[in-house]
Amino acid sequence: MIGEFGAALRHALEFDSPDRRIDSLKTSVSNVLHSGDPTARIRKTEFFNHTFAPDLVLTWPDEKRERLVFLRTNPNPEWLAADLDVIAPSHPIMITLDDFEREHNSSAHERLMVRAREARALVTDPDAIEELVSPRAPITSVLTNAVIRGGLGLVDERAARSATESAVAGFSAAENLEVGPIRSALAAADSILDEEQANRFSRLYQAVWEGQGGTPENFPSSRNLAGPLAGRDLSLLLATLTTEDEQFWRRIGRSIRLEQVVAIGSETGPNLGRLVQANLDRLLARGARVFGQSTPDSEEQRANWGVEKGCLALRGDGWTAYFAAKSNELPPHEQRRGVSVSTLIDGVRQLDVRMADVKVQQSNFAISIEAVGDADVVDSPDFGQLVARGDSVAQTAAIAMPSGRNLTADFVTGTAIGHTNATFPLTELAQTAVRLLLELSHRNVSDADVKLVPGRDPVPVQDPLWE
């Protein structure tokens, strides 16, 4: 035990009080596990080194899973195997507080290795944990996370080092479409991970492989890898890859959902923008809410994508638009007055969209006008007469979208949302929501400020949506 974790364990053992010694040991183990998987919640129990009562309990928010952690003061493989016979049904993690002896070929170690895999239990020691959590490359953080969630077998320092080194080489190979190192990395991961986590690990490599133009048929794995990337794994790709190839990000996003993008947590940066830009037609949102106002006198800048407040956000010069898969996930709204009827008419004509219905508030009453069939409310003589009244304020307007569904713009709350459970691709929703809710409210949105380029197969669209 020569690393930080080993030093923490040695320090814990120096306390005179047994209670402080035990609590410090559990804290040290909790800290190192949390560093390997920050999403895990770790609870200490009142037991220590007990045969069938765990020392720690791991749970994960929004997941119906838990993993029991048993600490062992003696790394004797025969004793550990005997304890596994008792606690095997919980598929636990068993961590020895001292390192395994170096007799890797002993019959006792062989029996422990077999018993641990049969029990789908992870048996490991401080040196192995140090090897897993040591910062080497971002891909190793995914491996460590997977080991904590679904590691199995006897993982000593040698096995941990082999797996992490293979993971780094395999990730680089996936970027260069090299089969051999990928196959070795997946084999190393398979030897220490359960089926669920091994699938997840393989899926990450395959996403990079296909992003670089490799075909699914040629990817060196026999696993069924049809599922989406998890938010943590998607965050890894955004943090590590350095390509501006739009088709790469288009291929990465072939099965992406808005919920997955938001699940990466607070995130900004060019790669997130590239991912979103290349998949605007695939990312479906329930609605949008716009805050702030444009500042036309400042230097023009292109709007940037980010993840904040639990939403996908498009941040411009003085304004932010939030997009969510569920309407209740949008940030609380700001109260506004609405827009004048003349402003609404001008804006709808400039956007070249059809207004299906509108609600107008006047000093003493409200008026709702609904178009019949494919008619446009703007063409209604009655609606035109409202322009002459200075107290006429448009509160909501339903805009017919290219998809055939109506999008309701609420100028009082700065919200754009469809009827019932309708969702809209960001190619439709982003431009309509921002231009209606922001420009009609403040009239001076710079076209360059809200420029978007949607992804489309088989080649990127060259013309921006908003010029």
Q: Which residue range is the domain that position 175 belongs to?
A: 4-218
Cα separation, 128 vs 32, whole angstroms: 12
Q: What is the 3-state secondary structure (H, E, C) of 338-401?
A: CEEHHHHHHHHHHHCCEEEEEEEECCCCEEEEECCCCCCHHHCHHHHHHHHCCCCEEEEEEEEC
Residue 332, C-beta contacts closer than 8 angstroms, at least 6 positions apart:
none
Query: Is 174 part of a structural domain of the chain?
Result: yes
Residue 330 lies in a domain: no
The mean-pLDDT minimum among 24-33, 78-87, 240-249, 355-364 falls in 240-249
Q: What angle do CA 336, 337, 340 make, to 5 degrees?
A: 130
| pLDDT value, residue 386 | 66
The number of domains in the chain is 1
In a domain, 273, yes or no: no
Quick one: average pLDDT of 333-353? 82
* Exposed e or buried b per residue across 327-353, where buried means at least 16 C-beta atoms within 10 angstroms of its C-beta: eebbeeeeebebbbbebbbbbbeebeb
Average pLDDT over residues 301-314: 85
> Residue 389's pLDDT is what?
64
Contact 460, 246 (CB under 8 A): yes
Strand, coil or helix: 430: helix
The predicted structure's pLDDT at residue 228: 62
Instruction: Tell me whether residue 46 is in a domain.
Output: yes
Q: When comparing pLDDT for 47 and 210, which is higher?
A: 47
Asked if residue 436 is part of any domain, the answer here is no
Query: Across residues 235-246, what is the average pLDDT?
Result: 74
pLDDT at site 445: 40
> According to the model, what pLDDT value does residue 234 have?
80
CA dist., res. 377 & res. 354, Å (int):
8
Dump pLDDT digits (tens) for 255-268: 788 998 898 877 66
Q: What is the pLDDT of residues 115-140, one digit of tens each?
A: 999 999 999 999 999 999 887 777 88
Residues 96 and 72 sit within 8 Å (Cβ to Cβ): yes
Q: Inform me whether the pLDDT recorded for 379 exceeds 90.
A: no
In Å, the largest CA–CA distance within the chain is 94
- Per the confidence metrics, is the pTM higher than 0.75? no
Residue 345 lies in a domain: no
Least confident range from 87-96, 148-157, 162-171, 293-302: namely 293-302
The 10 Å Cβ neighbour count of residue 139 is: 25
Residue 234 included in any domain: no
Residue 393 lies in a domain: no
The per-residue pLDDT for 453 is 40
Instruction: Say which amino acid occupies 199.
Output: N
